[in-house]
Amino acid sequence: EIVLTQSPGTLSLSPGERATLSCRASQSVSSSYLAWYQQKPGQAPRLLIYGASSRATGIPDRFSGSGSGTDFTLTISRLEPEDFAVYYCQQYGSSPVAFGQGTKLEIK
């Protein structure tokens, strides 16, 4: 089974800055079936990126995803106050589905 490792565990940045979140897989992710989710306290996760680089419906273009194989990145170009949350990567190309442990993006 594929294990996803996210880094860093916590990222402290200020509004307006650029955020770069990493997700590394223990094996190649099939057909770039890699997604990113945002989760705020008390809420369900929300899909941001699917297929490694496609933005989900309604997601602002400051969110972008890239990568293939075993290395993937979520970039938030200019942080807005509402972007501070926990972010999870997920592979869904092979069973079992797996999630990374999460990166907490906090206000510096």
Partner 1 sequence: QVQLVQSGAEVKKPGASVKVSCKASGYTFTSYYMHWVRQAPGQGLEWMGIINPSGGSTSYAQKFQGRVTMTRDTSTSTVYMELSSLRSEDTAVYYCARVNYYDQAFDPWGQGTLVTVSS
Considering only 10-18, 20-28, 45-53, 69-77, which stretch makes contact with partner 1 by CB under 8 A? 45-53
- The identity of residue 53, as a single letter, is S
Contact 1, 92 (CB under 8 A): no
Q: With CB under 8 A, what is the number of residues at the site for partner 1?
A: 23
Which residues lie closer than 8 Å to 67 by C-beta, 6 or more apart?
23, 32, 34, 52, 53, 73
Residue 45: count of CB within 10 angstroms of its CB: 17
Q: Which of 22, 51, 64, 73 binds partner 1 (CB under 8 A)?
A: 51
Q: Which of 10, 97, 106, 108 binds partner 1 (CB under 8 A)?
A: 97
Instruction: Note whether 2 binds partner 1 by CB under 8 A.
Output: no
Q: Which residues bind partner 1 (CB under 8 A)?
A: 33, 35, 37, 44-47, 50-51, 54, 56, 88, 90, 92-93, 95-102
